[in-house]
Amino acid sequence: MPTKILKIKNMVCPRCIKVVKEELEKLGYETAIERLGSATIKYSDDKLDLNKISQVLNKNGFELLVEKNAKLIDELKSLIIDLIYTEQLEELNINLSDYLSNKLNHDYSHISTLFSSVEGITVEKYFIMQKIEHVKELLIYDELSLSEISYKLGYSNVQYLSTQFKKITGMSPSEFKTLRNRARISIDKISDT
């Protein structure tokens, strides 16, 4: 059976997940929802009716996002991940909003509003969470000092990195390094947390 991922605007809480799942299943779709703003449906080849899905979602206060918006969000996530993991941050001479606007050819306020409504977090928070996951990875590898990691990821100083790390993880980078079982989050699951 084919599957389709639906991007759904205004799906922002567990109750929303329940309503969306129930409504899609009433339409006859086997539905899985792993995160806010997204549902995966299974359907028969001739039974996919996006207009009907859109009507049902609209009736319940949600909006089915067109593929263009879903692609924009995916592109944004890819740009952020590439920026962090290819370690271009130390060379980035413009701020994140300008960088994303230029790369995506859209006004940043549009990008930011769309991303927040679908993902349930701001672009900035997503960016910070991605950076912190990369810091965890670099700490686990234990090849670079915290000062080198800070520089690589575009932090102005080690203290700022440490403060942000503690805010996100609840522990300092040195406390994280001493843990035996260091939990990391898959980069494609960052906005699910």
Residue-wise pLDDT for 80-112, tens only, equals 988 888 877 777 777 899 999 999 999 999 999
E-strand stretches of 29-183: 30-35, 38-42, 63-64
Angle between helices 123-141 and 158-169 (to 10 degrees): 100
In which band, very low, low, confident or very high, does the pLDDT at 67 lie, cut at 50, 70 and 90? low
Distance of CA 67 to the CA centre of its chain: 17
- Give the range with max mean pLDDT: 25-29, 74-78, 177-181: 25-29
Instruction: From 179, 64, 85, 192, select the one nearest 133 (Cα to Cα).
Output: 85
Q: How far apart are CA 36 and CA 191, in angstroms?
A: 9
Handedness of CA 18, 68, 75, 114 (dihedral sign): negative
Q: Is the pLDDT of residue 193 over 60?
A: no
Can you list the domains of the chain with their CATH numbers?
A: 3-65 (3.30.70.100), 69-192 (1.10.10.60)
Instruction: Write down the pTM of the prediction.
Output: 0.64
Distance CA 125, CA 147 (A): 22
The per-residue pLDDT for range 147-190, each reduced to its tens digit, is 999 998 989 899 999 999 999 999 999 999 888 666 667 666 67
